[in-house]
Amino acid sequence: MVDETEFLEGSVLIPKIFPDLDWAWFNSVPRWYWTYWRKVDLIRSAAFMKQKSVAEVTSEDIANPNNCMDMESNLLHGFGLKDVPFKLVFDEEKTMVFGEDKHHVVFSDNATFAVGVTTWKDGETSWVCWNTKQNIDDDLKEKVVEVVTGLGFKAEMAVETVFKE
């Protein structure tokens, strides 16, 4: 089992929605790839998709995430699973709502990536970089680290996803 507690940081600054986000562009991207994220987000995403508790997630469960969100079909793919139904729901503040958890888009270039922060119902927070490409380059990693450390996250908790066929 993976012990999530060693990666917990607690709450950080609750972010504001990125005011310059082009929502038409965001929703027009056919597929978002999760290329760089906080390990807590990785573990909790695996638990959600594999329908396990966080305590049941193993190293094997998170070894090859290959996560992506297909915006055209409203399906998630990842962790060896395909076609997990999932529809983005937005509240009046343009926050994505996942049950009792909320996801805030905090930064984007409105062309290739968006950075989001999740506030979980237990008070924990995490982040993810969604990318229009399957891989993240060093310049973008640097920018993402700048954004998330500015919110109070620790850079050493970042995990890169290397997509495998």
Task: Please state the domain extents for the chain.
Answer: 4-160
Candidates 1.20.1090.10, 3.30.9.10, 3.40.50.720, 2.40.128.20; correct CATH number of 4-160? 2.40.128.20
| Per-residue pLDDT tens listing for the chain (165 residues) | 666 565 566 666 666 778 898 988 998 999 999 999 988 888 888 888 888 998 999 989 888 888 888 888 888 888 888 788 887 777 777 777 777 788 889 999 999 999 999 888 888 888 999 999 999 999 999 999 999 999 889 898 899 988 875
pTM as predicted? 0.85
CB 62 within 8 A of CB 160: no
CA-to-CA separations, 39 to 25, 96, 141, in angstroms, rounded: 27, 20, 15
